[in-house]
């Protein structure tokens, strides 16, 4: 019983905490821009389900804390279905209802009767808030704690590997990969991980001379200490910094902001690259994770941070810092996911608003219905695929097979 409770504390609690913060910030983005445009709001909720705490302010907005901590939501007045965009007939009916109850002109305070550009900004504000959260976290961390930089100096070349066949040697220093300058060995790992089966050009510094080597990473299963077994590109290089090689850079706030923006852009770029390789059949997609994978990663981050020291105070500080960094990455992922042009997501709403701006009328109801069915099927399919990946990494099927044998 105590072991189960411990697993819940390690995996479930950090996951719920990170998810609730990230989703709440997402919804707060929608809310703040909506209020800036004087949109009438009924409720802002942190969590779902029956209210544990509730208060209504002078603007008539109910601030609620739900008992189920799985994110949150904002409910605009007249918004019967937050996943839909009313067609012309629906707008006319809603306008008549509002005018009949509150008088002529009252509909102007409702979301659906705001100009298209305002609705688009309100919709885009959720994902934008996620990116701002990530940038803010990275800025604070880069400024307050600094960034460790480890030169990409080769400490070992494993025999019979892609690296040995390409001609890498010990003490080679990688300075470019695929035409991009490299300042840290972790950047090399990122390129290699997402390039299995694709030749990569490496520029290395050897005895003061630049040499170009071409190597093709091989897809292999690696046991990541946080996310579990994953199939990624493998080159066969070992990294082991010498004393004094690790540098810590503390950026002033304005430069930290620039680095944070670049970091966020790099994560988005890596995500797009990976999805592109999935579409073209170059990757299997097993790095995609659903709620189970995120929970496992949150638990892995917690355990790794706590194991770094035995001092309780330092453990708490380490766990907090690691979870804050993890929240930044999850926030970028949720922001990106919501911008996909799938009708049930913010990106789908923006797509509909684009049509409305060109056609000067909302998308017809029958077209929306088909779009939402297809979009929901795509989203459910993606979640099922990601959950399958999570179960595979958790080795659940091997466990069940062992029980059945």
Which active-site residues does the annotation give? 27
Residue 66, token pair as written in the block: 């739900």
Question: 221 and 230 in contact (C-beta within 8 Å)?
Answer: yes
Please tell me the distance from the alpha carbon of residue 148 to that of residue 267, in angstroms, as a whole number: 18
Pairing of strands 228-234, 147-149: unpaired
Please tell me the distance from the alpha carbon of residue 56 to that of residue 47, in angstroms, as a whole number: 17
Nearest 5 degrees, angle CA 338-CA 352-CA 30?
45
Please tell me the distance from the alpha carbon of residue 19 to that of residue 326, in angstroms, as a whole number: 10
Question: 53 and 25 in contact (C-beta within 8 Å)?
Answer: no
């Amino acid at each position: 019983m105590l072991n189960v409770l411990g697993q819940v504390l390690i995996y479930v609690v950090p996951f719920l905490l990170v998810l609730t913060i990230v989703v709440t910030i997402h919804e707060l983005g929608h809310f703040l821009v909506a209020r800036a445009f004087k949109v009438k709001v009924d409720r802002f909720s942190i969590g779902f389900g029956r209210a544990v705490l509730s208060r209504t302010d002078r603007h008539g907005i109910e601030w609620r804390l739900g008992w189920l901590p799985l994110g949150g939501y904002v409910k605009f007045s007249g918004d019967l279905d937050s996943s839909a965009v009313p067609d012309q007939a629906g707008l006319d009916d809603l306008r008549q209802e509002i005018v009949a109850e509150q008088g002529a002109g009252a509909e102007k305070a409702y979301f659906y009767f705001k100009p298209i550009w305002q609705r688009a900004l309100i919709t885009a504000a959720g994902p934008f808030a996620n990116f701002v959260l990530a940038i803010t976290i990275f800025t604070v961390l880069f400024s307050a704690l600094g960034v460790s930089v480890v030169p990409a100096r080769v400490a070992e070349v494993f025999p019979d590997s892609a690296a040995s066949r390409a001609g890498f040697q010990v003490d080679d220093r990688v300075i470019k990969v695929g035409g991009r300058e490299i300042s840290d060995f972790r950047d090399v790992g990122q390129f290699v991980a997402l390039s299995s089966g694709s030749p990569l050009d490496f520029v290395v510094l050897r005895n003061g001379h630049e040499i170009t080597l071409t190597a093709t990473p091989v897809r292999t299963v690696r046991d990541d200490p946080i996310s579990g077994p994953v199939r990624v590109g493998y080159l066969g290089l070992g990294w082991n910094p010498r004393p004094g090689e690790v540098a810590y850079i503390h950026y002033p706030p304005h430069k930290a902001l620039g680095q944070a923006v670049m970091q966020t852009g790099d994560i988005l770029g890596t995500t797009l690259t990976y999805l592109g390789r999935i579409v073209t059949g170059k990757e299997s997609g097993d790095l995609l994770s659903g709620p189970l994978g995120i929970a496992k990663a949150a638990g892995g981050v917690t355990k790794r941070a706590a194991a770094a020291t035995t001092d309780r105070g330092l453990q708490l500080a380490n766990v907090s810092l690691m979870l804050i960094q993890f929240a930044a990455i999850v926030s970028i992922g949720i922001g990106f996911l919501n911008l996909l042009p799938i009708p049930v997501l913010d990106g789908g709403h923006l797509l509909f608003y684009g049509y409305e701006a060109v056609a000067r009328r909302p998308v017809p109801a029958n077209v929306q219905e088909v779009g939402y069915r297809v979009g929901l099927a795509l989203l459910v399919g993606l979640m099922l695929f990601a959950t399958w990946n999570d179960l595979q990494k958790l080795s659940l099927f091997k466990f069940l097979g062992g029980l059945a044998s």
